[in-house]
Structure 1
Amino acid sequence: MEPIDRAYQRVDKSSPKPTAIRTLIIDDEAPSREALRHYLEKYCPDVQVVGEAESVDAGLKAIRNHQPEVLFLDIEMPFGNGFDLLERLPASHQMEVVFVTAYEQYALRALRMSAAHYLLKPVDIDDLIDAVAKVKARAGLREQGQVTRTLLENFKKTTLEAPSRLALPLIDGLEIVLPEEIRFLEAADNFTNFHLTDGRKLLICRKLKFYDALLEPAGFFRIHRSTVINLASVKRYHRGKGGAVTLNDGTELAVAAARKQRLLELLAG
């Protein structure tokens, strides 16, 4: 599939708006991009969506091509995230950034510390209008460049707190899950299978690495390159080169030899 990088023209060409804010949307989820573009076009007449992109690499290309004044940027994407994109931007590309995220606990502390704009998925229309108003009120791109640099510094220094809940992106919406409702996670190429305490299995379009880092503060541990477990679900450890664990639902999972010692320390502690 070709990376998305489309330019949009307003239908009403008889009434050009030279002061419209040139805006780019970067989000790996097509329904999210479509909804945000629709809301902007309907409720924010001072905004002109000039393009879309679905990944960090496509986003960097779109920024070079369209030179947007405002970027609506998804934080979480399968191949890199919004912060990766900002770090790869040349210093000359200074623009307003409105971050969009479904993971309230993941980065909002850093965003708030940096006075950055952000929206939570699913996007609320009133919040979107307010964010656009704040973008327009920002005193110049020089200030935004400082905001972005401060944000990146704060994000690197921020210690992730244990999430109270996760919003897992599904094809038709979001599934809200508490950490204690997860028994284990299993890699499936670029996806992650969530095995829940109610017996359900959810396939989520995010790599295991993302959830490994996110859930570690909540008592999860990666016992194998393809498996992250909730330590509270472990009923028994079986000895061996790496060994194995049995969860409280009877599921048995292999432990990598390199992760055995740390697992035993966590179980004993």
Structure 2
Amino acid sequence: MTAIIVDDENRHHETLGKMLKTFCPNIEVLGDAYSVAEAVDLIEKHAPQLVFLDIEMPGGNGFSLFEYFDEPPFEVVFTTAHDLYAINAIKYAALDYLMKPINIKELQEAVSRAEKIISKKNGDISNQKIDVLKSNLKLEDKRFTKIALPSSDGIDFIEADFIIRAEAERSYSNFYLRDGKKVLVSKPLKEYESLLEQCNFFRIHKSHMINLNHIEKYVKGKGGYVIMNDGSHVDVSVRKKEDLLNRLM
């Protein structure tokens, strides 16, 4: 599998290059770029299958690379040190990223996932992920609205406010939508908690997160329960009751 590394710091090129050579010998690094402009030239020259893309770079961050490709002909693994906003944007789009300093096991897992996508030629899904990323990054208030939910037969790209509630089911999650459909996601609910909280969701129980925009009624009780506008009843845990009522007030 061919790749390029895009990063403005030479030490990161050297470190990642050595890690790939030692721990991911199936990767052939075709070249190094130190800016988005150089990356565009390398991609057009070598057509790599995978791009390791730093986010924070002078002259435009890594996201600006996608302004040059309507349908990127490569998979991407982002690399970043600490940019929470960027990480959230990547998570909402279900794209892959590595935190610096890069962990060997996480690098191998990211490469393996990219290899599977490339071997299955799932370019359409990859492009949809990039579209979600670009759509969210255009929002001036930086409040992301669209989220990618990977299921057994692909990925659903859904507006967060179209989700009424989410329910944990062991290592899976069920997302209940306004049109009555349910999406079973192959990740635990805790993976989505911080993302959903930014979209006015609230965890009212260890097994449930609800969209506060879709509450019809709160019914009193020890913990009580809420009635959602799809008619579903969801229990409120005793320890979450006060926080929920404060939010509703």
Instruction: Please give the range of the TM-score, normalised by the shorter of the 2 chains.
Output: 0.5 to 0.7
Q: Which residue of 2 aligns with 1:77?
A: 57
Structure 1 residue aligned with 2:139, among 153, 157, 163? 157
Written as runs of structure 1 = structure 2, the 5 A alignment for 1:210-221 is: none
Q: Structure 2, unaligned stretches of length 5 or more?
A: 144-249
Q: Deviations over 1:33-92 (max 9, x none)?
A: 11011101110121111111000111110111110000000011011111111112253x
Q: 1:23–1:71: 8 Å Cα contact kept in structure 2?
A: yes
Paired positions, count: 140
TM-score (norm 2): 0.53
Task: Give the distance between the partners of 2:108 and 2:140, measured in 1 at CA.
Answer: 29
Task: Give the distance between the partners of 2:20 and 2:47, measured in 1 at CA.
Answer: 18
Secondary structure in 2 aligned to 1:23? Answer: strand
Letter in 2 for 1:101: T
Q: 1:74–1:99: 8 Å Cα contact kept in structure 2?
A: yes
Task: Give the distance between the partners of 1:65 and 1:48, measured in 2 at CA.
Answer: 15
Q: Cα distance 1:156–1:45, how it changes in 2: closer, same or farther (>3 A)?
A: same
Matched, 1:116 2:95: yes
Q: Structure 1, unaligned stretches of length 5 or more?
A: 1-20, 162-269
Secondary structure in 1 aligned to 2:30? Answer: strand
Task: Give the distance between the partners of 1:39 and 1:159, measured in 2 at CA.
Answer: 38
Letter in 2 for 1:38: K
Q: CA RMSD in A?
A: 1.7
TM-score (norm 1): 0.49
How far 1:152 moved relative to its partner? Answer: 1.4
Task: Give the distance between the partners of 2:82 and 2:142, measured in 1 at CA.
Answer: 12
Task: Give the distance between the partners of 2:140 and 2:107, measured in 1 at CA.
Answer: 26
Q: 1:111–1:118: 8 Å Cα contact kept in structure 2?
A: yes
Task: Give me the identity figure in percent.
Answer: 37
Q: 1:107–1:155: 8 Å Cα contact kept in structure 2?
A: no
Written as runs of structure 1 = structure 2, the 5 A alignment for 1:8-19 is: none
Q: 1:27–1:73: 8 Å Cα contact kept in structure 2?
A: yes
Q: Which residue of 2 aligns with 1:134?
A: 113
Q: Which residue of 2 aligns with 1:46?
A: 26
Secondary structure in 2 aligned to 1:157? Answer: coil
